[in-house]
Amino acid sequence: MARALYGVFLVMYFTLASSAIQSLQLRMIHRDSIYSPLYPGNLTAEEHMDRLYNYTTLRAKMIESRMSSAALDYNTTRVQPRVEFVPTLYVLELVIGTPRHAREHRKARYLMMDTSSGLVWLQCQPCIHCWSPPAVVFDPRSSQSFAPVPCNHPLCDLRIPHQFQCINHQCHYTYMYGHPSLTRGVLATETFGFASDRGGFEFVHNFAFGCSHDSQNFNTLGSVVSGIAGFNRKRTSFLSQMNQGQANDIHSEIDYFVSLIDVSVENRRVGFPPGTFRVRIEHGVLKGGFFIDSGSAYSSFNTGGPYERVKNTFEEYFHRFRLAHCHQHGFEVCYKIPRGGFNAYPSMTFHFQNGNDFMAPPENVVVIDQRCFCVMIGKSQTVNTLGAYQQRNYQMSFDIQSRTISYAPADCTRDA
């Protein structure tokens, strides 16, 4: 794969209280895309496969660590994960601030999109710890619309002293991703311009964000990435700020759980018993469930049952072709491509409640290099996920008001 191109549309529909914008159609850039500031250069198919595997195994460890604390304490202010933040797959382009002088122009900045965290933040001057060069770090003094958040602001929850503190009448925050990754700074409001798939920028005023003066152990993000855009449903996240309504139950506040019933490989059902993918608590740890995670490269299933059943169904499908196994890349369902070629790759369907099915076509199920192909599924110790590889060339729509997710095929190759 000499020139890998990636594309996923995430279409977010909001009802905004303080803006004429009724919806935002954001342009997300895959970190390995030629349009990404993190573009690694031309990758071979084997290198591409290795990167996808490494992205998701590291992210799975982070998610598992985050959910390993007692479910009663399941929030990012009290959980202290043991794994530092792992870069996700998509980068969000934006501009920030209102220049004080007409001749000054807003510069493009990039935040790593993370559907499993709940704060939008970027590095700010003056910096105690910053991983980026000064030119990438935002200077609040250069913007006339920057305003620190007072301590009586609704988003400054002083009942959580580990996360918010009132210092000199301003709201200061500390946000932990894992040990030892953290960001500290001032909660502030600013004008944000988000790159739209329709071209140009959509501006949102008085957007609350973390102006980070102390950003520790985020070197893996890359020097041109300024911070992280949290897309879960906590009150400080991107989505919650865009939406008037707030999540009431603790699980829907954190992640995008959906009701998975069964999985099919081509037309063969796995046949999971009812309740296999319910969210449950085992020994005080949150487990089970199925949620959409665009930060994971591919879909993962719990070991000790779900993963093995999906894996076996794929192996049963390929058995009739008498293909030789291929062991590489960390994936377990891999086969050598016969000399005459092979193209009987299966689709994979996720069956949700109410007869709603999401069908990943064959090109979203397997990844192919020069001599082997592998099925893109992985293992998880906690929750099950629908990853980004299976979402390729789909328009994913998150309706926060009605708590629904919809999807439709899309041609994302037009960015090529």
Position 49 confidence tier, pLDDT thresholds 50, 70, 90: low
Check which CATH number belongs to the domain holding 344 and give it. 2.40.70.10
pLDDT exceeds cutoff 80 at 156? yes
Q: Does residue 410 fall inside a structural domain?
A: no
pLDDT exceeds cutoff 80 at 31? no
Percent of all residues in the chain with a pLDDT value above 70, rounded to a whole number: 76
pLDDT of residue 195: 80
Q: Chain centroid to CA 285: how far?
A: 22
Q: Does residue 124 fall inside a structural domain?
A: yes
Looking at 252, 270, 295, which one is the last position of a domain?
252
CA-angle at 238, arms to 236 and 239, nearest 5° = 100
Q: Are residues 185 and 320 in the same domain?
A: no
pLDDT exceeds cutoff 80 at 120? yes
Please state the rounded mean pLDDT for residues 325-329.
81
pLDDT of residue 33: 78
Q: Are residues 368 and 232 in the same domain?
A: no
pLDDT of residue 413: 61
Q: Does residue 368 fall inside a structural domain?
A: yes
Percent of all residues in the chain with a pLDDT value above 90, rounded to a whole number: 41
Position 85 confidence tier, pLDDT thresholds 50, 70, 90: low
Q: What residue numbers bound the domain in which 261 lies?
A: 256-393
Instruction: Tell me if the bond preceding 126 is cis, omega within 30° of 0.
Output: yes
| Lowest-confidence pick of 30-44, 53-67, 319-333, 354-368 | 53-67
Q: Are residues 241 and 262 in the same domain?
A: no
Q: Are residues 208 and 265 in the same domain?
A: no
Q: Are residues 279 and 198 in the same domain?
A: no
Q: Are residues 230 and 283 in the same domain?
A: no
pLDDT of residue 114: 84
For residues 130 and 33, which has the higher predicted lDDT (pLDDT)? 130
Looking at 205, 224, 252, which one is the last position of a domain?
252
Q: Are residues 224 and 240 in the same domain?
A: yes
CA-angle at 292, arms to 228 and 76, nearest 5° = 45
Looking at 207, 232, 252, which one is the last position of a domain?
252
Q: Are residues 222 and 291 in the same domain?
A: no
Q: Does residue 326 fall inside a structural domain?
A: yes
Q: Are residues 151 and 29 in the same domain?
A: yes
Q: Are residues 270 and 242 in the same domain?
A: no
CA dist 325 to 312, 334, 377, Å?
A: 14, 6, 16
The pairing of strands 225-230 and 147-148 is unpaired
Q: Are residues 112 and 242 in the same domain?
A: yes
pLDDT of residue 175: 92
In the block, residue with structure tokens 């500031």: 37
pLDDT exceeds cutoff 80 at 94? yes
pLDDT of residue 72: 33
Count: domains in the chain:
2
Q: Does residue 398 fall inside a structural domain?
A: no
Q: Does residue 3 fall inside a structural domain?
A: no
Q: Does residue 60 fall inside a structural domain?
A: no
Return the SS3 of 58.
helix
Please state the rounded mean pLDDT for residues 292-302.
83
Q: Does residue 306 fall inside a structural domain?
A: yes
Q: Are residues 81 and 226 in the same domain?
A: yes
Contacts of residues 410-415 at CB distance under 8 Å and 24 or more positions apart, as own/partner, are 410/9, 412/6, 412/7, 412/8, 412/9, 413/5, 413/7, 414/7, 415/5, 415/7, 415/33, 415/35
